[in-house]
Amino acid sequence: METINITGTIQHESADPLSVELARGQRGGYGWTIKLRGKTTDAILAEIDRIDAQLRARYSDGAQQE
């Protein structure tokens, strides 16, 4: 009888490729971190821009955050 050894790694990734972390600072301002997985850079950047615009409209005075 022949024995076969199989080794590998199992990784589980969330089905949702998007993560947004919203933080309120001590002075009442907001900041956020947007994480997104995707297949093309252009699609990822377009989606990040869309999400960032929505967050700015809701949580900031519209000023550019650096």
In a domain, 11, yes or no: no
| Bridge partners, residue 48, by sequence | none
Q: Which helix (H) or strand (E) holds 22?
A: strand 18-24
In a domain, 44, yes or no: yes
pLDDT in tens, 20-60: 999 998 888 999 999 999 889 999 999 999 999 999 999 98
In a domain, 35, yes or no: yes
Structurally, the chain folds into a number of domains equal to: 1
Q: Whole-angstrom Cα distance, residue 51 to residue 17?
A: 13
| Bridge partners, residue 19, by sequence | 35
Query: Range of 34's domain?
Result: 18-59
Q: Whole-angstrom Cα distance, residue 3 to residue 32?
A: 53
Q: The pTM is what?
A: 0.66
By the 10 Å C-beta count (0-12 exposed, 13-18 middle, 19+ buried), 16 is classed as exposed
